[in-house]
Amino acid sequence: MKKTLALLVLMLGLSAYAQENVSDGSVGILSTLKSANIGLSLSNELKSSTSKTQIDGFYNKLEGFMTYKPTSVDTFKLGVGYNAINANVNDQTAKYNFESPSFRYKRSNILVQDNNGVKFDSEARVYYYPDYMQTTKFMTGNTSWRNTFTRTFTPDYKLVTELRWDEYFRTNATNKLARRRLMLTADPVVALSETVTLTPEVSLNSTMAGTNTVNKEFVVFKPMVDYAFNKSFATQAYWETTPMVSRDGKLLAKDFAPKGILGLVLTYTIL
């Protein structure tokens, strides 16, 4: 855990140093990439893993992204990363793995609010799972199709709704393995200031497997607070829990509050 926190502090230090100390050669390379409509960014997510009553470990994911925008509305994005997992907070060792690489294509402004009353974007993603995930999840990857509708009501408030469909590439035909997942997410985004936003996200989820008895529906609640230090560097803190689950015979899921996940995301845009 201490090593992970040190990594986060190092990212902050390097980000500040880079903005003040960039060599002429680096400036030339970055300028060439920028003129070719290529973008570079880094993201680091640190979150807890929990038992029924307490935090019992952590998960840290560091990803790098490269984007290419051939037009103002088309974006191609490649993501690669690495993660560290500590399943027990009393165990100071961690397991390190490659993160699932992803390839994404996004089409923006298919609809615009001025003409259609709502902004509509669509994105397709393909993920390839590393060996350790293929062994434990019996899947080689998945596709994800995400359609996003945004309605801006005031300069300080907008509603973002996303309909998402995931299809999994399974290596095992057992009916207990999820075949696909459908998710409907509502994000009311409230600007508390020029640099701080609050988003109490609610999502309805349905995972579909081989039979109705193993299908599952559940609700996820994820309040998020975002803070932008500047145009390049931002952070997000969140709490995520699942208060409602189908087929458990209860209105609210047992121990959903203690099982909640705490997370912190740092993003740095290089280009």
* pLDDT score recorded for residue 259: 86
CB 144 within 8 A of CB 125: yes
pLDDT digits over 160-178, tens only?
999 999 999 988 877 778 8
Give the Cβ contact number of residue 129 at 10 Å.
Answer: 22
d(CA 18, CA 84): 25
- Token pair, residue 259, equals 């099982």
Rounded alpha-carbon distances, angstroms, from residue 258 to 3, 66, 245, 246: 25, 37, 16, 19
For the whole model, what pTM was predicted?
0.86
* pLDDT score recorded for residue 115: 96
Rounded alpha-carbon distances, angstroms, from residue 127 to 31, 45, 178: 30, 18, 16
* pLDDT score recorded for residue 219: 97
* pLDDT score recorded for residue 38: 95
CB 189 within 8 A of CB 199: yes
10-residue averages of pLDDT along the chain (271 residues): 51 52 64 90 90 72 96 97 74 76 98 97 96 85 97 98 96 82 98 98 92 82 97 96 91 88 95 88
Q: 32: helix, coil or strand?
A: helix
* pLDDT score recorded for residue 59: 87
* pLDDT score recorded for residue 54: 62
pLDDT digits over 24-52, tens only?
556 678 888 888 899 999 999 999 876 65
* pLDDT score recorded for residue 57: 80
* pLDDT score recorded for residue 84: 84
To 10 degrees, the CA torsion angle through 125, 130, 135, 140?
30
- Token pair, residue 126, equals 């393909």
Closest alpha carbon to 162 in 198, 108, 190, 121: 121
- Please tell us whether the domain made up of 2-269 is placed in CATH 2.40.160.40: yes
* pLDDT score recorded for residue 93: 63
Mapping DSSP onto H, E and C, the string for the chain reads CHHHHHHHHHHHHHHHHHHHCCCHHHHHHHHHHHHCCEEEEEEEEEEEEECCCCEEEEEEEEEEEEEECCCCCEEEEEEEEEEEEECCCCCCCCEEEEEEEEEEEEEEEEECHHHHCCEEEEEEEEEECCHHHHHHHCEEEEEEEEEEEEEEEECCEEEEEEEEEEEEEECCCCCCCCCEEEEEEEEEEEECCCCEEEEEEEEEEEEECCCHHHCEEEEEEEEEEEEECCCCEEEEEEEEEEEEECCCCCCCCCCCCCCCEEEEEEEEECC
* pLDDT score recorded for residue 62: 94
Give the Cβ contact number of residue 100 at 10 Å.
Answer: 19
* pLDDT score recorded for residue 168: 94
d(CA 243, CA 220): 7
- Name the amino acid, one letter, at 64: G
H/E stretch holding 81 reads: strand 74-86
* pLDDT score recorded for residue 201: 98
